[in-house]
Structure 1
Amino acid sequence: MAHNTIKGNYEKLTQRLNRFPQGVPPSETLFKILNVMFSEEEARLVSLLPIKPFTVEVAAKAWGQDLEKTAEQLNILASRALLLDLEDDEGTQTYVLPPPMAGFFEFSLMRTGGELDQKVLSELFHQYINVEDEFVTHLFGTGDTQLGRAFVNETILSEDNALHVLDYERASEVIKTASHIGVGMCYCRHKKEHIGEACDAPMDICMTFNNTARSLIKHGYARQITEEECLNLLDEAYKHNLVQFGENVQNSVNFICNCCSCCCEALVAARRVGATQAIHTTNFLPVIDFDNCNGCNKCIEVCPVDAMTLTSKHDPKYKRAKVALLDEEACLGCGVCARVCTKDGITLKSREKRVITPVDSTHKAVLMAIERGQLHNLIFDNQAHLNHRVMAAILGVILKLPPLKQALASEQFKSKYLVTLLKRYEQKSGEITTQH
């Protein structure tokens, strides 16, 4: 009976985590992971928390206890990076339950030491993420809007390329505009190290920014570094042919990972479910110069998603001559291939259709929720609290969506209020267009 009660609390926590658009498919391995990271009582308490930012008062009401005890428990959870403690523009202290990915799964291995058995946890993560395929398929293979996007390798941009790169598409600009910068241990390579499969790419190179960095620095999961130090780390990542994979938003990017193809879960997933399905690409594609390419194989070796292959050059004089061939449908547009080419055989061109990046985390969350049939979870997140500012932000995003996305939203929401808002917004937009 006690066993069923314990599992019941972790099942409740799993149900709460599945209110995130990305979610975590339940399995025995997942329950073991949660059992390592949360006590039974913590699992019960966290299962009652909203997925949107909340205050101590909101948590106290959800838990049915006083403010002092609630604040103490929230701070303990934040000290273990199971919650993030944030401060908004008005100086209000809030907390947020991050999703498992990108979130507290990674945070658990971003430093050494602590109370967790990281070897056991790494083995469980490997089983859940790399062996069992439901989580990866669900996380990276569902919907059109994904949690991450690739950044182009800035060292190989030509003057013409540079004219077509927007500021938010540059990893260097994310670094330069961040309010806080932290660096921690690479979760993927640290996990692989514990199971004896890590490569020799730099370990201390996982970048976090803004409020997320502030919280992780505060609790020792990242160390604070300067803009210059972070730019130097970016150069180090370029030298190791690592791919920059960051949060799929334009404003206030929270993370940029520097990924190797052998350890990075996002790149492994991209090869499994399809690169352009799992990760939002850059706005560039490589162009292979048929005459300059000598088929040396360097670009094939560094391509993180197997988008490059060799094919016959069909040269009557040199029948064994090979040339690189690009699969555009599989290409991330990271530009690593162009960096390693020593024959000026690869340049970059702009994609015919520009990739759309969500403006901010609210925009991204709404799009992901609509595509995954979970919009109601964002709007009616917790019976104990309805934050009207968050509600307004979500509805504000919906009002600006294309008609097809609005139709999906209204179908899921099934609210006369939303339908009326959409109609009024459409009428108002029509009036403005007529006036102009």
Structure 2
Amino acid sequence: MGHHHEGKSDIVPLIDRLNRYPIGLPDSETLRRILAILFSADEAYVASRFPLTEATLTELVRATGWERERLTPVLENMADKGLIMDLVYGHRTYYLLLPGLIGFFEFTFMKQRQDLPVAELAQLMHEYLFEDPDNRMGREFFGGATPLTRALPYEEHIPVESVVTTWESAREIIRRAGYGAVGMCYCRHKKEHLGKTCDKGAPTREICISLGSAARFMVRRGFAEERSVAELLAVIDRARDLRLTHITDNIRHKPSFICNCCSCCCELLGGVMRGFPNGIAKSGYTIAGDTEKCLGCGLCAKACNVQAIEVVGGDNGSRKKRMQVKAGHCLGCGACIPACPTGALSLVPAARAPVPEKKKDLFVRILKDKKRFSPYVVAGMKAKLGRMFGLG
């Protein structure tokens, strides 16, 4: 069941809190309706009181003014719903309020739900993300100088003379993660509730990969199922057979997910095609075409997940048709290469911006770009001092 609030007093502080994240949620009536369904009044209050950093139960008791006995079941329910994460480090549990994107919007559709009006939420989220005439969410997510996510190349198509870094290889990321799981694609599941299916026939279930501590949380809370390295590598192979694009965190150290994305469903790729060609960080490669081998058949353009390839020429008989890459649009994923019947396409190295080392580095960059960093410095100092003096 949804939680249709009588008033908005508990939703406004929640929106204010969410908008202190690197990726916020621009306020609108549609957003308020979404949040009123996802959060009960108690959950909205607790979320609005969350510190900017991970917090212990003791710290949340102090932040909310609630007794442990009242707070604990609320936190438990919020974790089950994917509104917060509970992460166990050693013998202590830390709680983290998830952002909307990438966060509880996705978790809402990453398992079968009986507790929420998912069809209504699918429509509301679609309206919020894609029908705002000012495209505020698009600008919030994709418009910054540092993208939150990046594309990974199909390693088998990288030239043999190139050195493939471990953080650019989906297979190596999986092998080094230490733990992994597979789950439902949020985008395709949401599309199903809008009466649509994937044009490439990509599955909704058992296609999106989570890794590390995020995967452990997702398995524990029913959002994903644990898989072996071999099983996760098979998911990558399946995605490549379908010519999907791999998207991961824009970091080098311990990415937390690999999504396998199509142009018709994926909201990340959709942003690239809706005016934000730099909204996803590109891999260290781009596509090059051999004009002598190219037939101008257009199969590569059809396979491309961001419409970065077009077929040109052939007019007035002056020159045969050929493929052409739109400058600045190619993600360097290589999904188009298997579609070419003559082997005319290849990945070639391309100059790119440096990839942040860790998630903290990525968030700091984005927060500084958006002038939201100072509160995190204060929050971090408070948390450190509190734990130093036994208040955490």
Provide TM-score, normalisation by structure 2. 0.92
Offset at residue 319 of structure 1 (A): 3.8
Q: What is the deviation of 1:4?
A: 9.6
In structure 2, the partner of 1:116 is 116
| Distance in structure 2 (CA, Å) of the matches to 1:4 and 1:152 | 45
**What is the CA deviation profile of residues 241-264 of structure 1, one whole-angstrom value per residue up to 9, with x for unaligned ones?**
100111111112111111000110
Instruction: Quote the offset at 1:218 in angstroms.
Output: 0.4
SS in 1 for 2:202: coil
Quote the residue 2:136 is aligned against. 134
2:17 aligned with 1:11 = no
How far apart, CA to CA, are the structure 2 residues paired with 1:52 and 1:145?
21
Aligned CA RMSD, in angstroms, stands at 2.1
After superposition, residues 208-223 of structure 1 pair within 5 angstroms as: 208-223=210-225
Name the counterpart of 2:369: 371
* 8 Å Cα contact 1:51/1:98 also seen in 2: no
2:148 matched residue in structure 1:
147
Q: Distance in 1 between matches of 2:366 and 2:49?
A: 23
Structure 2: how far apart are the matches of 1:278 and 1:113? 31
CA contact (8 A) 2:42 2:74 kept: no
TM-score by length of structure 1 reads 0.83
Structure 2 CA distance for aligned equivalents of residues 271 and 381 of structure 1: 37
Deviation at 1:120, TM superposition (A): 1.0
Q: Partner residue of 1:71? A: 72
Deviations along 1:28-83, one digit per CA (max 9) or x if unpaired, are: 00001101100122111110001311100110001112233322321221111111
Q: Closer, same or farther in 2 for the Cα pair 1:269/1:344, shift >3 Å?
A: same
Conserved? CA contact 1:298–1:340, under 8 Å: yes
- Aligned 8 A contact 1:137 1:273 in 2: no
Q: Deviations over 1:188-216 (max 9, x none)?
A: 01111111122121112111111111111
Determine the structure 2 residue equivalent to 1:185. 184
Query: Equivalent residue of 1:77, what SS?
Result: helix
SS in 2 for 1:229: helix
Match for residue 341 of structure 2?
A: 342
- Answer yes or no: is 1:325 the counterpart of 2:327: no
Distance 1:339 1:91, change over 3 A: farther
Secondary structure of the residue that 2:66 maps to in structure 1? coil
2:354 to 353, 356, 380: 356
State the distance in 2 between where 1:98 and 1:219 align.
14
> Equivalent residue of 1:7, what SS?
coil
**Alpha-carbon distance in 2 for matches of 1:267, 1:4:** 34
CA offsets, 1:371-411, max 9 Å, x none? 011112322349xx8223899xxxxxxxxxxxxxxxxxxxx
User: What is the CA-CA distance between 1:91 and the residue it aligns to?
Assistant: 3.9
CA distance in 2, matches of 1:354, 1:27: 36
Partner Cα distance (1:117, 1:390) in 2: 40
Runs of 4 or more off by more than 3 Å in structure 1? none
Runs of at least 5 residues in structure 1 that lack an aligned partner in the other structure:
392-436
SS of residue paired to 1:252: coil
- Note if contact 1:156-1:339 (Cα within 8 Å) is conserved in structure 2: no
SS at match of 1:189: helix
Which residue of structure 1 aligns with residue 101 of structure 2?
A: 101
Q: Which letter does structure 2 place at the counterpart of 1:287?
A: A
Tell me if the contact between 2:183 and 2:223 (Cα under 8 Å) persists in the aligned partners. Answer: yes
- Is the Cα–Cα contact under 8 Å of residues 282 and 355 in structure 1 kept in the other structure? no
Offset at residue 176 of structure 1 (A): 0.9
C-alpha contact 1:245 1:256 (8 A) present in aligned 2:
yes
State the one-letter code of the partner of 1:63: T
Q: Is 1:298–1:341's contact at 8 Å kept on the other side of the alignment?
A: yes
Conservation of the 8 A alpha-carbon contact between 2:158 and 2:348: no
Greater helix proportion: 1
Q: Is contact 1:140–1:273 with CA below 8 Å preserved after alignment?
A: no
* Alignment-mate amino acid for residue 131 of structure 2: V
Equivalence for 1:207: 209
**1:20-419 maps to which residues of 2 (within 5 A)?**
20-88=21-89, 90-132=90-132, 133-141=135-143, 143-161=144-162, 163=163, 165-199=164-198, 200-204=201-205, 205-275=207-277, 277-312=278-313, 319=318, 321-351=320-350, 353-381=351-379, 386-388=382-384
Name the SS of the counterpart of 2:341 in structure 1. coil
Aligned length in residues:
379
Amino acid at match of 1:387: A
Q: Distance in 2 between matches of 1:114 and 1:294?
A: 51
Give the unaligned 5+ runs of structure 2: 388-392
Is this contact kept in 2: 1:285–1:328, CA < 8 A?
no
Judged with a 3 Å threshold, the aligned counterparts in structure 2 of structure 1 residues 389 and 104 are, in CA distance, closer, same or farther, namely: farther
What is the aligned-residue identity percentage? 32
Distance 1:350 1:64 in 2: 55
Distance 2:333 2:307 in 1: 12
Q: Which protein shows a greater Rg?
A: 1
